[in-house]
Each structure stands twice: as structure tokens, then as C-alpha cells.
Chains A and B, each alone.
Chain A
Amino acid sequence: MKTARAVAIPLLLQLALGGAARVTLPVAQAEEYPVPPPPLSDGIFPCSDCHADLEPDPTPRVLGMHEEIVERFHHAEAQRWCLDCHNPSDRDKLRLANGELIDFGESYKLCGQCHGTNFRDWRAGVHGKRTGMWNGRKEYRLCVHCHDPHRPRFAPIAPEPEPRRPWAIDTASEGEPSAPPPAHGQHGSE
């Protein structure tokens, strides 16, 4: 979630500043679903930096490495582990169930294997956030821009302040919950 926002915010800024140069991925689908680069963790990618010299161990197990991911990992963990998605031989690729290797920038294909209905809605522009031009080029986001792939459920966020009460539209200072004067009751509290 944190990383998703970190990417989304500069992107929004870019859009607001008149849609400056957008990075598109060198894959066939990039034209169809223009997405910004994936939110890769700093200092980890490319994975091959470390994994090139390591012998892949295909046994599902609790890793001694990547503690940070292991701790938060909560994504059908009973059924899956790292190498169901990460490709053991070329670590800079992801692997679909049929063995096809894909770039991190195409990860929606991987997600779409299980989340078919969401993938269908996403392609139509209905699942997930869509920006850009309503009648022109649209900005898609990868699933992982909003959902942490290792823990996809949305974390709660802090809401913006509640509106001022009718009698206090011009008195309360911004953001402060306005206390009702004795003459008026509080709506919605019984």
C-alpha cells in the first residue's frame, strides 16, 4: 500500500502538470493497457543480482531471507508460496501457471489467473482506479500499484475531516469536529 501510493502520487502530479512523458513498457500489451512501471522494492530488484549465483530450491518452506515479506505475507499462503509466481530460473521474470514467463510490468496476467472477474473488470477500466482522458488515452495501474502482492487486502486509511455542521459552517476552524451547541442535537447519534 505504501509503495503503491509512493508511485501513484508522483504519477498524479505528472498528470496534473499536463501529462508529461509517460513510461510505457516494451511489451505488446503496453499499448492496450498503458501502465506506469511496477512499484519494485528498492535495493531488491533486479533479483538476479543475488539469485544468479544461488541454486534454486523448489521445496516449499518458510524462507530465512526476505523477512519483511515473510512477515506480512498473507495471500492464500496455505496454497501458495514464492515460486508459484516468481520464476526459479530467471528471477527477473514472473511465471504464469502454464510456464510462460512474463515481465514484472505484465503482472496483471499473473493476478488474472486466479482473479478472473476482477481481471475482466480491470481490462474494461472498471476494477481499480483509472485516470487520464475519459475519451482518450487512459492511465491504467497494475494490480500491484494498489494491492501489495504479498498482502493484497487494502489497509484502512485515515479519512479527511468530516464536514462542518450546518450551524457552524463559518465558525469552526478547518478540520476540527464542531461541537454542537446545547440548542441543537447531534444528528445520527441516538
Chain B
Amino acid sequence: MRNFLAALRMVLQGNRFYYAWLGLLLALIALGIIAYLRQLEAGLIVTAMRDPVSWGFYISNFTFLVGVAAAAVLLVVPAYIYNFKPIKEIVLFGELLAVAAMVMCMLFVIVDMGHVDRLAHLLPVIGTMNFPSSLLAWDILALSGYLLINLFISFYALYKMAHSRDYSLSIIKPLIILSIPWAVSIHTVTAFLYNGLSSRPFWNASILAPRFLASAFCSGPAVMILIFQIVRRVSRIDIDNKALFKIAELIAYAMGINLFLFAAEFFKEFYSGSVHLAPMQYLYFGLHGHSPLVPWMWTAFLFNLCAFLIFLNPRSRQNFLTLNLACVLVIIGVYIEKGMGLVIPGFVPSTLGEIYDYSPSWVEKGVTVGIWALGALIYTLLLKFAMPVYTGALRFYAKD
């Protein structure tokens, strides 16, 4: 209890910027709550989703964030396989990011539900979970398992550190090893959620899961690079430039693969030109005069391409100005491609051939901003607690 209070005090103390940041986040969360209450009262009719496009902005954000959550932990791979020390030390922050992203993912699914009071019907034993038939059941298990693993690893490590004790590698290491395939699996299962639907040709392509992983390997680490620089600035934690540049190099490879997979899909659809081309056409050139996503998709493509070139060139990826620019480009690019650019063309044209140009309503935007703010708040508070523990500034039992 005393420890908790100490941690709480730590978390709630900061400079003016810190309070301003918290205030902003709280305001946005309040906005999100207001929007959500409006949706609860009137139903999902306040969103722009309708029968032809029955998933929209919420599920788009969910999909993007699953990628972020998966990739934040996948930094562990080079750290352990190559035993690359500079990255190994900062894996913890990736795991905390995974926790925050996972919470956001779950919230995005929850706000998308028509009957949130029946959430328990999803659970095994209490409800009637349709396992193993429904991929959504798999996803729930995969995502919540992932959240628990990351919560356990990060809090166990922090707890031990805060007590000035070494954490037991025999506990941590198997879990970290487990978290690697688990991270791959959350994104694969999420891809399979779409992939398994034979009625939706845009999703029903075997390349979907690999593309998911490749793009996640871009956006997740790009977020991490930005966060590490902030961590470095606001705390005494020293993060080696080498680590950042190594991550940037990884993004270059991942983006290379992502662009290649994209090209493969683009070629297949346009060269063969079957009726299944329609969603691709809708995305990149417009279909029967409907082209709301066209500018977005080309923006995403250009951003990804530019970022790829920046990350590929050792000189530009080691210059912080271009590095950060490329990170921002990647995050935006993947957010478009993996968000709306993935979900919407699954529904357009609809299974009955209807073209409904979806764009999120104000309520959807409000709720989405609120969830992002809540995620940012969770991550901020986790970092605020983790950083001093990490540097040794916060110890529950003084060693004197």
C-alpha cells in the first residue's frame, strides 16, 4: 500500500508541460466519453456505419493498433537473437507500449459493439464462446493472453527493480520467448479474422497476414523510435543512438518487404483484372465515380515509399531530422493502409454490389480521439512510473 502511494506520488508529480499534457489528454478523454454516451443512447446509428459497410473507423483503428502492439514486442527478436545490448535494455518500454496499445484495441472493439452489456456472452464458461469456430473467439483469447503476458513481464521486472532485486531470468526468459510467437500470433489471428471470409475477396488473399506483419514491423518500431527520444529527453535513461539506428534499419527491411508484398498484390489484381479487382480499383483509382479513399491511399503509398528510402540510406536514417520525419511518414502511411485502407475495401463494393462511401461521423471521431487519448494517458503514466524505477530514482526499500 505504501508502495502504491509512493508510485502514485511519483506518477502525479511533474513539471508544467507534464500537467498540460495530462490536462489535454483528460479533456480529450472527456470528449470521447461524451461522444460514447451519445452513441450508447441513440445506438450505432450516430456513426456513419450502415449495412453495406458494417465496420468502420473503430475497427480500422483496432487493426492498426494490434500491429503496434505486436511490433513493439517484436523488438525483442533482434535483442535476443543477436544479443544486441542497446536494444535489449529498452525492451521494457516496448512491452509497456504493447500494454497500452492492447487496452486501446479492446476499447475499440467494445465501442463497436451493438450490445456492450452482453460482453460476458463472449467469455468461455460464463458465456458461449464459439471456439474454435469463430476467429473472433481466437482473437479475444490471443489479445487478452498477450495483454496478460506483457503486463506480467513488465510489472514483474519493475517490481523486482523497485525492490532493488534482480529479476529471475528463469521466469522472465520463457515468457519473453513466449511473447515473440504470441506477438506474431495476435497479428496473424487478427489478419485471419478478415482473411477467412470468402465473401470478401479483398481480404480473402493469402498475402494478408504477411502484409499485416510487415506493415506492423514498420509502424510499431517507428512509434518506439519517437518514444525513446522523448524518454531520453525527459529522464536520465540513456538510450544509445545505435539502438535507434538499428531499429531504423529494421524498419527499412520491413518496409521493403511491405512494399514488395503490396506490389505483388497490386500486380495480381490489376494484371488479371477479374471481378475481384473492384475493391482495389475503388481504393486507388475510384469505382464508378466513387473515389473518397483515392487521395488517402496514394498519400499512404508515397509516405511509405519516402520513408523506405530514408530508412534505407544509412546517412539519412542517422540524421535525427530525417529519421523522425520518416517515422512520422511511416506511422501515417501504415495508419491509412492498415486502417481505413484495409477495412473499407472489404465492404466496397458490398456483397450485393452496393457502393456506399463511408466516412466516419463526428461521434466516431470523438470516441476514437478519446480512446487514443486514454491510451496515451495509460502509456504516459506507465512511463512516469517505469522511468524512475529504471534509473533507480524510485526504490521502495532504500538500500542504506
Contacts and interface: CB of A to CB of B under 8 A. Distances in A.
A contacts B: CB pair < 8 Å: yes
A187 B51 CA distance: 15
A188 B355 CA distance: 8
Contacts of A190: 288-289
A166 B357 CA distance: 10
A80 interface: no
A185 B48 CA distance: 15
Contacts of B354: 166, 187
A71 B355 CA distance: 47
B290 interface: yes
Contacts of A183: 357, 359
Interface residues of B, number: 14
Interface in A157-190: 166-167, 169-170, 183-185, 187-188, 190
A167 to B, nearest CB: 7
17 contacts: A166-B53, A166-B354, A166-B356, A167-B48, A167-B50, A167-B356, A169-B45, A169-B50, A183-B359, A184-B356, A184-B357, A185-B289, A185-B290, A185-B357, A187-B288, A187-B355, A188-B288
Interface in A92-138: none
B293 to A, nearest CB: 13
Interface of B: 45, 48, 50-53, 288-290, 354-357, 359
Taking residues whose C-beta sits less than 8 angstroms from the other chain, chain A's interface range is: 10 to 19
B125 to A, nearest CB: 38
Interface in A42-79: none
A53 B52 CA distance: 69
Contact of B355 (A169, A170, A185): A185
A166 B290 contact: no
B357 A170 contact: no
Interface of A: 166-167, 169-170, 183-185, 187-188, 190
Contact of B45 (A170, A184, A185): A170
Given A185-B290, A190-B289, A166 B359 contact: no
Contacts of A184: 356-357
A188 to B, nearest CB: 8
Contacts of A169: 45, 50
A185 B288 CA distance: 9
Contacts of A188: 288
Nearest to B354: A187
Contacts of A170: 45
A167 B357 CA distance: 9
Nearest to B43: A170
Given A183-B357, A183-B359, A187-B355, A166 B51 contact: yes
B45 A187 contact: no
Contacts of B51: 166
A153 B51 CA distance: 38
Nearest to A185: B290
Nearest to B357: A184
Nearest to B289: A185
Nearest to A165: B356
A185 B357 CA distance: 7
Given A166-B50, A166-B51, A187 B359 contact: no
Contacts of B45: 169-170
A35 B290 CA distance: 52
A166 B359 CA distance: 12
Nearest to A180: B357
A17 B312 CA distance: 78
Given A183-B357, A187-B355, 20 more contacts: A166-B50, A166-B51, A166-B354, A166-B356, A167-B50, A167-B356, A169-B45, A169-B50, A170-B45, A183-B359, A184-B356, A184-B357, A185-B288, A185-B289, A187-B288, A187-B354, A187-B356, A188-B288, A190-B288, A190-B289
